[in-house]
Amino acid sequence: MRVKIIGSAAGGGFPQWNCNYHLSRAVRHGEDGFLPRTQSSLAVSANGRDWAIFNASPDIRAQIAATPELQPAADGALRDSPVRAVVLTNADVDHIAGLLSLRERHRYAVYATERVLEVLEQNSIFNVLDRDAVDRRPLPLSGRTVIADREGAPTGIIVDTFSVAGKVALFLEDQTKAEHGFGTQSGDTIGLRIGTTGGSGALYYIPGCAAIDENLKARLTCADCLLFDGTVYTDTEMPDAGVGAKTGKRMGHLAISGPDGSVAQLADTSIARRIYVHINNTNPILDPRSDEAAAVLAAGWEIGFDGMEIAL
């Protein structure tokens, strides 16, 4: 199985278009070691020919342009793409807006929970995805799904879905339900175990997670690879930086550091390879010279970047 991180940043990317925080300035000015990053997305193939996109970011067009494997074959049809399916882990804008670019009557399938499919159904702009070309298919909250193309031919990719702690998408928040997760419902956020037919290696993909419980730790034990929510280093990172009032918890993201952070909570979990993705533009791990980046690396984690490839 081939896996390519085609977008490693959180919403807004790095640099964010209107961000003047010192990290965004550094990458914008090309300082050594700072890598630009597009918004959260993953590409997976079981055979090197047919690909599934996991989360369609607003940057999907640029991501495809930077990834030859996702472009039409030289001997292909006049309208062609190796993208056979798109799999969504939630309805956040940075994970669904790219669907609007994946129109042009290309035939593929979209997989998501019933909750997320309902969000797409209720937003008429997604009708640009012609139902005759793009088939919408439900993912169970718990269970295995064989990912197939629009015609039903298996891609060789298999996903196991499971619920993780999260939050309803920002544009769906109900302020009258602030004390109850702003209207968060079952199916708003899922994690995925991605494998292939007959393959032994598997990848866990959890770009959004608000908490780690014992069930999740047990599930991840002995994992080959984990791509995990690296949005913020500290819970109060954005207020401390002066760029926003929301904490990581308020946004539905678990911090990396601290006694309740992901580094500490997964320290005693046997995971062969662990990589942070969905990294916000305020996160100091984006500075390779920072103490925070050094601490993450010393704890056995890697810092994901666009174009990073993983073979399983």
What is the domain extent for residue 237? Answer: 2-304
pLDDT for 70: 98
Residue-wise pLDDT for 13-71, tens only, equals 999 999 999 999 999 999 999 999 999 999 999 999 999 999 999 999 999 999 999 99
CATH number for the domain spanning 262: value is 3.60.15.10
- Please name the amino acid found at residue 27: V
254 lies in some domain: yes
286 lies in some domain: yes
Across 92-129, b (16+ Cβ under 10 Å) vs e yields bebbbbbbebbeeebbbbbbbbebbbebbeeeeebeeb
- Rounded to whole angstroms, the Cα distance separating 156 from 50 reads 9
**Looking at residue 187, what DSSP letter applies?**
T
- Please name the amino acid found at residue 287: D
310 lies in some domain: no
- Rounded to whole angstroms, the Cα distance separating 221 from 306 reads 26
291 lies in some domain: yes
Pairing state of beta strands 108-113 and 83-87? parallel
pLDDT for 303: 98
Q: How large is the average pLDDT for residues 99-128?
A: 96
200 lies in some domain: yes
Residue-wise pLDDT for 202-261, tens only, equals 999 999 999 999 999 999 999 999 999 999 999 999 999 999 899 999 899 999 999 999
Q: Which helix (H) or strand (E) segment is 53 a member of?
A: strand 51-54
pTM comes to 0.96
312 lies in some domain: no
Number of domains in the chain: 1
311 lies in some domain: no
Other Cβ atoms within 10 Å of 196 Cβ, number: 21
